[in-house]
Structure 1
């Protein structure tokens, strides 16, 4: 990272957007305070239990969280480097004290009178945690977390004879309603307050009964949303995003009329800054959960804007909606208030459908694309490894992986279009997705003004291992990135094995010359070792294998040298493959099958089915 923001001192790579960190000085948030000695030593690995704590940090956070995380977590296989959920994401909170028939959970555990009993409950709820470390963390939070202090003070102030007549409220805003934005910048009251039942509150306020068996959903735009769910990450109860946070003038620091969006807020928080510590980046798997949680918040803010501005979007004019309502045989039970998710929302069904139609329009106008390129992120790029903290792995920092890969996408697209690597392009399209193993990849379709003729295929696409003596650099890149598997009889547990066979049809047959006669992809030249082809030795945990050209994924040598990553380049030989390719590029995210009460609410359908 060689560029420093002049406004907020964020470290960035040269080609990143100048305002991505702080909107060119319009977003200014207070820095994080120095952590308590215990937590700091655990994060910087100076504590004897640091490695255990960081590897199990989500377990430790769940032992102390005051709200429950409401989402269906998706677990795929034994090793899953990403945090993945399906459907809507929300936080629930219960009462301060449990009903007589229930056990203490979440926030209620803090009010168990005996310290050892608190520790035992936490250890029982969160497996594999260290009993003594739980005790130390519990004492630390009781000392430094303002919510815990104020909750306990509030409970102690409640009359013992009539607790049902009181409620606890956490106001959504620190400032009084309708107060000037420049006033009340510092908290002047406690985080929580005791109020009498029947008092009116703001819609976003968190109102807790002293004793209640019901769970209540917390508004995503409540300032306490983050601190109540992630006490390990925000041990001082730092405020999260709120819709009333104003932008400021970069020079005068005076508040502006515009407010900060959730995207701006978390973009600011998730930047590495010069000479400033950001403990969030030490949180490993908890950081992954936090990123997913906050992205869901960002997307929810956008969806709520769309839901509340349907008239502005002129939703009633959408042709498919009018067709459904105008049908004479329409079932009245299937009609509800229509909520349209327009094509301007990235990732929505209309957005994906529109881009698929664009791709088919390209095919109708320009014919089949010439090349289909799949480019996968390499977690061993120096830009990624140098940005990691000590002892971190790439799967601990998806923020770095995403930023670096975005820069690589800009570079490869520029090389294919402005650089005319394969010839002057007519048009192109691409789609980015995250693989289940935790790395992003991009699918590119490229149309060229001068079509690739069969005699030029071998000059552009190679499916053979390079000569290790003449080109050792390319040989090693192919060995690391472009060898499939191995699978089949070599490795029956490989991910692409279906019904005992490789779903990608490896190993491929040996050929002396490239053949383009069949439908689909051509059969590339793959010379056997007896014909002068080279071999590589692959060592993995499952064993050691000597593999030949039949296991090589087709690539372009120039792209492979430039990016040092898995880059599969395919020649589009048949028009029959175009529909599949275009759908694959714009297939969108995975969706679940479900039933909805109001099938006219496209936002609800999207939120419930998304991954």
Structure 2
């Protein structure tokens, strides 16, 4: 009889409910019959098995497997031999449909959706391609100020709360909240032209007007870019206005979607992008939706994220020929076959759903089908997933700092398209299920007038407040079912991994390729999960959760919480020392010692470096928030706060790290096996008591840092709009997050 059937039969005999997690992963104590349970006392398996049959009557292979499991040490045990080589990902493959390079563990549909998506590659003039790739001095200067030069030629403004800075040699572009693209009026104020005004206002002195905008601008590079933009249809149109009189009655109508079918050709002509509109012109003469720009107006003209001209008006140096961006209704190549899968019902019958959760899940699945793999339309996410593929000749990936801002901008566009769906389908999403009195009171509402006036952001939106709360409650349910976690593992991306270095072109830097960094990190994350769950390097795993986050300097990292089965739990400080070390390795192991000194030494901070970032936390101002340097400890103990103090002996071993002498007190706890295997910052901690459990789970599911605020006139009741609250108060978005769009948060059981 199989183990699964044994568990199911024994569980039913005791009156317990058999769940999938218990049948597949019996990590909690199994309620056997008295006869079967008696054979497991003190690990004595010499009598009978679970079903009562003598072990001698079982197959020899099964008995050998039991003996081997009892004698073999887990691979992560400190007594186990360390790996001699760093873990290498499986070899990258090339898609046969679009020639995109696929990183290990990526889905076959990740690039072109099986050949159903095809978009023309953005062409770059040779002069512009040289500026982005050449090692010449002027090209290096151009790449350092790529965002500035792009802003100088942009037709629309870029508004929002963003930060562009270099920290520890890594350039990072961060955004807080929403992005706004606006087109100014035609006539400037105070004779200071900007954005599209620079193309026609005082056109004889275009170069001089642009140089006055930024002191870092070089004349030779500026003249080259002016010549390059002569091929841009928007630039040609606005420069043609130099010969026409512009007065207060002049209007410009910019076509929102200048290209109707991007599958054939993506670059419009100057006649397709905009037209001049006078007072005596009829609005019926315009055959396409348009953006009206007037000569005198105190209001800016916003370019919405779903306009086809959204990308090219803001990034003329990324789309030098005026290529159109994503638009709604863009169809796949194989639209006939996709249409058969797109015929879904607009509503889900509530009679067929037994619970509220089932109803919401059914409607969420229906929403996925609209723009899912079987849809005939290209979703916004799939569009930019295709645009960012590592294909031959894709110069978009070589545009450096300008590319980083573009990635963040398109991430916000993807999020906005998802939020647009939820806003426009409140009735379909059964918002009334969230508008009851109990849910309203539970959310803190105390005014009866607001009940029923809510715009709901459902839990199916990844990263939203309801999604975070659901995942936290699910993780706490795992603790209730399987017990407290045993290990807390944190892995941070290493920008010097060979898989990243090998894909970089000559002179290219890893921090300018956030797409590559995020994709390789995701592959390493899955490799780490295979080591923990499948190869059982810490022992058999009962359940686990993990979440991906991004540091302020841009590198992604993952937090794992691992619950081991009863036979592998870490119960005392002696067990902690089997998997966690907090000391500098001796010279007898030079490879591990080099890795520890490179990745696992904290700081220095304190008096050695008061400017260290860990010294600036508001709750621990003036001292390290991680309490480094740690005290010397001859043996591992559990302190009064419930956290372990790992063994840190005073061996006299002192090393020079960042021009300061450090010893064992500065070592971040690690596992020698995992550190040798992944060659990156990989922190391993033991969850010793229940005091740390809730804090750890809240930590990994805390979501974006945000501030809550409300503006209202008097006591007039205001409708609650959860989508607007999320858009305006969400935390900083890092440039690497688009590559990890589908890997924001994972929560899974161990289905073994």
Q: Which residue of 1 aligns with 2:348?
A: none
Shift in Å at residue 520 of structure 1?
2.7
Query: Corresponding residue for 2:272?
Result: 190
Partner residue in 2 for 1:208:
293
- The answer (yes or no) to whether the contact 2:255–2:272 under 8 Å persists in 1 is no
Q: 1:110 aligns with which of 169, 186, 199?
A: 199
Task: Kindly state the Cα deviation for residue 232 of structure 1 after the two structures are TM-superposed.
Answer: 1.1
Instruction: Tell me how far apart the structure 1 counterparts of residues 545 and 326 of structure 2 sit (CA, whole Å).
Output: 35
Q: How does 1:12-411 map to 2 (within 5 A)?
A: 12-33=102-123, 35-45=124-134, 47-74=136-163, 81-98=171-188, 101=190, 103-115=192-204, 117-141=205-229, 143-153=230-240, 156=243, 164=249, 166-175=251-260, 189-197=271-279, 199=283, 205-249=290-334, 258-273=376-391, 276-318=392-434, 323-324=439-440, 330-331=446-447, 337-411=453-527
C-alpha distance in 1 between matches for 2:532 and 2:165: 35
Aligned pair 1:513/2:635, yes or no?
yes
SS at match of 1:568: strand
Per-residue CA deviation, residues 524-549 of structure 1 (Å, 9 max, x unaligned), is 1111125xxx44332x3xxx223211
Summarize the Cα distance change of 1:572–1:311 in structure 2 as closer, same or farther, 3 Å threshold. Answer: same
Q: Does 1:609 align with 2:729?
A: yes
Per-residue CA shift, 1:426-461, capped at 9, x if unaligned? Answer: 110011110012111111111011221222211111
The alpha-carbon deviation at position 204 of structure 1 amounts to 5.8
Q: How far does the alpha carbon of each residue in 1:32-79 deviate from its partner, in whole angstroms, 9 at most, with x for none?
A: 22x223212211215440111101111111111110012111367866
Deviations 1:3-29, CA, capped at 9 Å, x for gaps? 000110001223221111111111100
- Residue equivalent to 2:612: 494
Structure 1: distance between partners of 2:663 and 2:688? 25
Greater shift in the superposed pair: 439-448 or 358-367: 358-367
Counterpart residue number, 2:593: 475
Task: Label 1:184 to 1:84 Cα distance change in 2 as closer, same or farther (>3 A).
Answer: closer
Between structure 1 and structure 2, the one with the greater Rg is 2
Q: 1:588 to 1:328 in 2, by over 3 A?
A: closer
Residue by residue over 1:190-244, the C-alpha shift from the partner in whole angstroms, topping out at 9 and shown as x without a partner, is 3222345561679963222244342111121111111110111111111111112
Change (3 A) 1:223 1:348: same
- TM-score, L = length of structure 2: 0.74
2:263 and 2:518 map into 1 onto residues whose CA distance is 36
Residue aligning to 1:423: 539
- Residues 130, 326 of structure 1: alpha-carbon distance in 2 compared, 3 angstrom cutoff: closer
What's the CA shift for 1:340? 0.5
User: Does residue 687 of structure 2 align to residue 572 of structure 1?
Assistant: yes
Compare 183-192 and 162-171 and name the one that shifted more. 183-192
Q: Confirm whether residue 462 of structure 1 aligns to residue 571 of structure 2.
A: no
TM-score of the superposed pair, with normalisation by structure 1: 0.90
Change (3 A) 1:192 1:328: closer
Are 1:519 and 1:573, in contact at CA under 8 Å, matched by a contact in 2? no
Matches of 1:322 and 1:253 in 2, distance apart? Answer: 42
Q: Deviations over 1:168-204 (max 9, x none)?
A: 23242534xxxx9999988585322234556167996
Instruction: Provide closer, same or farther for how the CA distance between residues 32 and 114 of structure 1 changes in structure 2, counting only shifts above 3 A.
Output: closer
> Structure 2: which 5+ runs fail to align?
1-90, 343-374, 713-717, 733-752
Q: Which residue of 1 aligns with 2:565?
A: 449
CA shift in 2, pair 1:183/1:388, >3 Å: closer
Q: Are the equivalent residues in 1 in contact too, given 2:120–2:266 (CA < 8 A)? A: no
Give the Å deviation of 1:302. Answer: 0.5
Specify whether residues 72 and 106 from structure 1 end up closer, same or farther in structure 2 by C-alpha distance, changes over 3 A only.
Answer: same
Cα drift, residue 154 of structure 1 = 5.6
Where does 1:506-585 land on structure 2 (aligned, <5 Å)?
506-516=628-638, 518-530=640-652, 534-538=653-657, 540=658, 544-585=659-700
Aligned positions, number: 591
